[in-house]
Amino acid sequence: MHRDILGIGLAGKSLSDLERRILRECSPFAIVLFGRNIGTASQLRDLIAEVKSVSARPPLMMVDEEGGRVDRLRHLIPGLPSAEGFGEGDKPRELAEWHGRVIGMALRWFDIEVDLAPVVDIRADVAPKGLERRIFGSDPETVVDLAGAFLRGLHGAGTAGVPKHFPGIGLGSADSHYGTTIIDLSLDEMLQRDLVPYQRLGEEAGAVMVSHGSYPKIAGDETPATLSSKIAHDLLRDVLHFDGLAISDDMEMHAVSDLGSYESITERALMAGNDCVLFCSHIERVPDLQSHLERRVDDDAKVGARFGEAFARCERYRSHVERLRNDAPAPASFGDVLDEAARFVEEFEKTRPHREVIVPEVDRRKNDRQPRTGREEWT
C-alpha cells in the first residue's frame, strides 16, 4: 500500500494532466480545497469525484469552512456568520451547533470529509491580524462551549472537525501568513488559558492543527511550533496526552517557508511531531517531496520510525472519519442543505442586536477585478 502523510492543494477548478498523474502515481493523504477550486456546486462536486476516482487511494478532502471571513462556500451558501458573532446575541450555544450542522451537511453533500475548523484560539482585547472575527470568545470557557457546540454540529452531520491553531495564537504579535508571530506566555499561563480547548475538545475531535506561532518561554527559542518538537511533541503528547492526528498549518506560509527548502521543512515538521504536513500550493513539488521522504525513511531509522508513527495516526484518523459518516444520517440533497442554511441564517439574524453598519467611502473596494492576493486564499 502506498503510504503518504502530505496534504496538498490543487491549482484550479478542474484537474490538469499533471495533477491527474500525481494523484494516480503519488496519491497524497489529503487534498485541501480553496476558493480558487470552487465555482458552481456541480463543478465542485464533479472535481471532488474526479479526484477520488483517479487517485490510487482516494485522499481525504479538507477545506477551511468557518463562516464569516473564512468561508470557501460563500458564493454557494451565502450568509454564514463569523465565530465572533455568536457571542453578540441570544442562544449562542444552540446557534453555534446549528451552524456546525449546516456546514457539516453541506460538506457531506460535496463529499468533503474534513472541515479545518473550529478556531479555538482565545481572543485578546484586540484580535491579532489574520484572526479578526474568527474567534468565539475571550475566555476559555466560552470558547470551549461554543467551539464544542460547533464541533458536535459538524460531527452529527458526518463531517470531521479540526480545532486550530495549537497551542494558541490569540495573543500573537503578528500574522504568521507573512512572518513570525510570537506568543510570549509561560507554560503555566498557556495551561490556564490557550491550552484549555485542546484539553477539553482534542480527544472528541481526533485531530488538531499545529500553528506556526513561536513560544520562546516554552520552547526556549523562536522556532515555529510546526518545527519545534518541544511544542508539536512534548507539549501536545507528553503534557496534554493527546494521541490523535497532528496536522501542520500550511508550510507555504512565510513563517516557515522562508526557513529552508520544501524538503527540509517537510522533514523538520515530521520529526518535530506533525503527522500530516500541508503544502497547499505548488502541487508540482509533491513527487519530489514524497521521493525525499522515501529516501530518508530508508536511510535513517529515526525518520523511518517517526514516519511509521505518523502514517499510523493518519490511518486511525481515516477510521475516525469513516465512523462519523457511518453514524450520521444519509446526506441531504443540496436543496435541503440550502433550505436548512436559510432557516439558520434567518434565526441567527433574529438574535443579533440592531446596529447600523457604515463603510466609509475611503474603505470601499474600488476595483473588484484586481487579482486575489495570497492572503485571501490563506485566510
**Contact yes or no for 98/153 (Cβ under 8 A):** yes
Which one-letter DSSP state was computed for residue 237? I
Catalytic position from the list 4, 121, 249, 250: 249
Cα torsion through 161, 163, 164, 170, rounded to 10: 140
Nearest to 78 by CA among 375, 331, 337: 337
Coil/strand/helix, residue 279? strand
Nearest to 227 by CA among 214, 240, 236, 237: 214
**Contact yes or no for 86/148 (Cβ under 8 A):** no
Query: DSSP letters along 221-235, please?
Result: S--BGGG-HIIIIII
Q: Is 99 a catalytic residue?
A: no
Q: Is 249 a catalytic residue?
A: yes
Strand partners, 71: 65
For 17, other C-beta atoms within 10 Å of its C-beta total 7
Nearest to 139 by CA among 151, 123, 150: 123
Query: DSSP letters along 65-105, please?
Result: EEETTEETTTTTSTTPPPGGGGGGSS-HHHHHHHHHHHHHH
**Contact yes or no for 292/266 (Cβ under 8 A):** yes
Catalytic position from the list 155, 165, 177, 212: 177
Please give the C-alpha separations between residue 266 and each of 86, 276, 289, in angstroms, as whole numbers: 37, 10, 8
User: Among all residues, which ones are annotated catalytic?
Assistant: 177, 249
